Amino acid sequence: MLKLVTILLCLGSALSSDVDTYNGLVDEFLYMATQFMVEYKLDTLSVPNLDIAYDHQKLASWDSVTGTIKTGPGTIVNATGIHRNGDASIELVGDDKMVIKVSIATDPMVITFLKFAIDFSSPWPFSNDGGMQLKVDKNEADIQITFQKAEGVCNLTFDKAEITSLGYIDFLILPDTWWAEVKDKGIDLYVKAHNSDLKTVLNMYLLNILQGVVNKVQPCSYLPF
């Protein structure tokens, strides 16, 4: 744990302009962060509830989207499968702020919602009022995170989060009935044909979702300072 604190707050003497140094430090940070998540049983994360409505709205290549999505309690399993994907940069701002920019890749994970109420009339008529499980393949994203310690208080903020490569998503409607399986296949085929559109839409909400997860977990509260 002290090693993680050192990485977060005492990098000033270690940083240089060498890219390998940045990459090594970020790799170490990601490794220690995943160990920290396992130690404090944060490898399964809660997902903030979503309440989204569209009214003839243009999204990506869809000219008119009308419908609603409302989710209840949700969890992400295997949230610790995060790796650096490309070169990183680290910037120290004053004595109390550190900004990390890096591309990451995620291992496959499972997202489960006990409630996933969806009702769309366009671009494709579809409705469901049960739960939903999403098996998400490997993804890649660009992120920027700021750590800041002010007056003894540590804060972690996502400044940027953008999916650059969206893996395959397998939808499973809950409860798993024969009719739900028919719907599953329809969703899977539709989403596969509109992968780039789905990536565009997810990027509209990703930053707020990640910050919501961080605010709920409060990782800085586990650090001994």
Q: Higher pLDDT residue, 56 or 148? A: 56
pLDDT at 156 over 90: no
The answer to whether 138 and 170 are in contact (CB under 8 A) is no
Convert the pLDDT of each residue in 167-217 to its tens digit: 888 888 887 777 778 778 888 888 788 888 888 888 988 888 888 877 777
d(CA 104, CA 98): 18
Q: For residues 142-163, give the mean pLDDT.
A: 85
Q: Alpha helix (H) ranges present in the chain?
A: 2-9, 19-39, 178-193, 195-217
pLDDT at 16 over 60: no
d(CA 171, CA 40): 29
Convert the pLDDT of each residue in 19-65 to its tens digit: 777 888 888 878 877 777 777 777 788 888 889 999 999 888 888 99
d(CA 170, CA 217): 27
CB atoms within 10 A of CB 18: 9
Q: Classify 81 as helix, strand or coil.
A: coil
pLDDT for residue 140: 93
pLDDT at 13 over 50: no
Give all domains of the chain, ordered by start, each with its CATH number.
2-222 (3.15.10)
pLDDT at 225 over 60: no
DSSP state string for 40-74:
TT-SEEEE---EEEEEEEEETTEEEEEEEEEE-SE
- For residue 160, what pLDDT band results from cuts at 50, 70 and 90? very high
pLDDT at 154 over 50: yes
Q: Which two tokens stand for residue 191?
A: 């989403």
The answer to whether 66 and 120 are in contact (CB under 8 A) is yes
DSSP state string for 78-123:
STT-EEE-S--EEEEETTTEEEEEEEEEE--EEEEEEEEEEEEEES
Convert the pLDDT of each residue in 92-128 to its tens digit: 887 778 888 999 998 898 999 999 999 999 888 888 8
Shortest CA distance to 31 belongs to which of 100, 81, 88?
Answer: 81
Q: Higher pLDDT residue, 43 or 17? A: 43
Q: Which two tokens stand for residue 206?
A: 């990703």
pTM: 0.77
pLDDT at 7 over 60: no
pLDDT at 76 over 80: yes
pLDDT at 5 over 50: no
pLDDT for residue 143: 92
pLDDT for residue 20: 77
- Please enumerate in sequence order all residues whose Cβ is within 8 A of that of 197, keeping only pairs 6 or more positions apart, or say none: 59, 60, 61, 62
pLDDT at 68 over 80: yes
